């Protein structure tokens, strides 16, 4: 037989709190009438809140900002390129006619191309007395060179003038990322207008493969390079001076990789909790020490009075 009690009594029993559940409270409450506010405590509290606000805003800025991490490894990053590297060259020769300017490409795989014209453009300068050469071409991933010269001209000039200004020389994709400061266009702005007009110029390039990976995982492949140069007068086997602007390159086996990263949310929350908890703890210790010292000083003064 089942016995049912009064519904109101059952509801009151259900709402009754367990007898000893409050003992598990680790955040014990102190009645307000047992606490004593002080001016020192108020000043420390205000400074504490301002300090917490400053650290919070600093951490929030770091959490929102994208961090770029770099690493080095030995590998060929762009294996889908077919062993090719795209090159972009923009150079002005203010004292050489455009019909005399040509681009030649050579490398250790046996490539020897004189007067490369694909994807290139010649713009007359100084009323046709000079020329600006802009070209897009590819090179093999082996040591070699490409050079601007008069070798492809039908008739060689008597006094070719190879003074020049390099506006741009870059390899691979163009990276325009604020947080990456690399030598992607190390020769950009090189001015050789005051050099010997009959001198040849050798630019020795050490090309370093570079990978940039954004937050979405998309990768772009570019190349940085270091450069050394020398200037000299070269004679042909006939005794004539035929100057040229040489770009001799070699590839480094080391690859530089830049990766965009953002601080994870759990680390941001952990840092904020550490800031708030640590600041309140230190401020509480400081306030307690000041209050204790103040009370002790008051007792000393009262003892002197009596």
pLDDT digits (tens, 9 = 90+) for 116-127: 989 999 999 999
Average pLDDT, the chain: 85
What is the rounded CA–CA span in Å between residue 134 and residue 90? 4
Q: Could you tell me if 96 and 160 are in contact, meaning their C-beta atoms sit under 8 angstroms apart? A: yes
Q: In percent, how much of the chain has pLDDT > 70?
A: 88
Strand partners, 125: 130
H or E element in which residue 14 lies: helix 7-15
| Beta-carbon contacts of residue 144 (< 8 Å; ≥ 6 apart) | 105, 106, 107, 108, 109, 111, 248, 249
Average pLDDT, stretch 95-102? 94
What is the rounded CA–CA span in Å between residue 177 and residue 201? 31
What is the rounded CA–CA span in Å between residue 46 and residue 27? 23
Q: What is the pLDDT of residue 35?
A: 67
Q: Looking at the predicted structure, is the pLDDT value of residue 146 above 80?
A: yes
Q: What is the pLDDT of residue 1?
A: 41
Q: How confident is the model at residue 61 (pLDDT cuts 50, 70, 90)?
A: confident
């Amino acid at each position: 037989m089942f016995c049912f009690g009064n519904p109101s009594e059952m509801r009151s029993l259900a709402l009754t709190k367990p007898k000893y559940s409050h003992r598990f409270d680790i955040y014990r409450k102190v009645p307000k009438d047992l606490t004593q506010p002080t001016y020192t405590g108020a000043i420390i509290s205000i400074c504490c809140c301002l300090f917490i606000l400053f650290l919070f805003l600093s951490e929030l800025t770091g959490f929102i900002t994208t961090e770029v991490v770099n690493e080095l490894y030995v590998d060929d990053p762009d294996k889908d390129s077919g062993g090719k590297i795209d090159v972009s060259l923009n150079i002005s020769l203010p004292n050489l006619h455009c019909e005399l300017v040509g681009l030649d490409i050579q490398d250790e795989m046996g490539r020897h191309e004189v007067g490369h014209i694909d994807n290139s453009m010649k713009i007359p300068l100084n009323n046709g007395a000079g020329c600006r050469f802009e070209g897009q071409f590819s090179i093999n991933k082996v040591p070699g060179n490409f050079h601007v010269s008069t070798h492809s001209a039908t008739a060689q000039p008597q006094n070719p003038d190879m003074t020049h200004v390099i506006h741009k020389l870059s390899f691979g994709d163009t990276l325009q990322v604020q947080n990456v400061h690399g030598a992607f266009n190390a020769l950009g702005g090189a001015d050789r207008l005051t050099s010997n007009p009959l001198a040849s110029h050798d630019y020795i390039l050490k090309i370093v493969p570079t990978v940039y990976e954004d937050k979405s995982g998309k990768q772009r492949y570019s190349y940085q390079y270091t450069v050394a140069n020398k200037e000299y007068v070269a004679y042909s086997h006939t005794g004539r001076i035929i100057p040229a602007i040489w770009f001799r390159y070699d590839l480094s086996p080391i690859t530089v990789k830049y990766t965009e990263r953002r601080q994870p949310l759990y680390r941001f929350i952990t840092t904020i909790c550490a800031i708030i908890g640590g600041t309140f703890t230190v401020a509480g210790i400081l306030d307690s020490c000041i209050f204790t010292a103040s009370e002790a000083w008051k007792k000393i003064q009262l003892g002197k009075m009596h």
